[in-house]
Amino acid sequence: HRQYMQEFETTEEKFVPWITRERYEEPTLEAYLDRLEKYSSGQRLPPGFVSHSTYWLVKHDRKEIVAISNIRHTLTESLLREGGNIGMGVRPSWRRQGVATFLLEQTIAKARSQHEISDILMTCDKSNIASARTIQKNGGVLENEVSDEEGNISQRFWIRLT
């Protein structure tokens, strides 16, 4: 996990998905994984948060985290504007190899089968063309674009599973 995080620090990118930042608040990896398990069942959630499940794509022969996805089981008003149901991040050294497309495909399958989500909202910064393409490759249809207080534009895509 530390190596995954170090790559984001080296490239001066924000940690994605957001849940990866939580690792530093726990003394051990086991405590972190226990926290994630509790979040998945709706326990110990910070105020305003929803139940969510985290999935790891690992290259076993190298014991290396390649990518992480996070499924938010329900949407709040805030998540409807920005964030959506699925957030994901691919380790910088593993990008442009089809990992994001594969990860999103697998995450959508989990959202459908384990969390009974029928319509998935995903958002990304308008400037993140690679994320928009990945979402579209997995059936995402652009609904609209929204601006925040600082003028940053997010694109909102729906993936219909019904």
The tokens for 77 are: 């008003």
SS3 state of residue 112:
helix
Looking at the DSSP bridge assignments, the partners of residue 31 are none
pLDDT digits (tens, 9 = 90+) for 17-63: 666 666 556 678 888 889 899 999 999 898 989 999 999 999 878 78
Cβ within 8 Å of residue 10, ≥6 positions away: 92
Model confidence at 11: pLDDT above 80: no
Question: pLDDT value at position 50?
Answer: 95
Cα 18 to chain centroid distance, Å, stands at: 7
Q: Percent of the chain at pLDDT above 70?
A: 90
pTM attached to this predicted model:
0.87
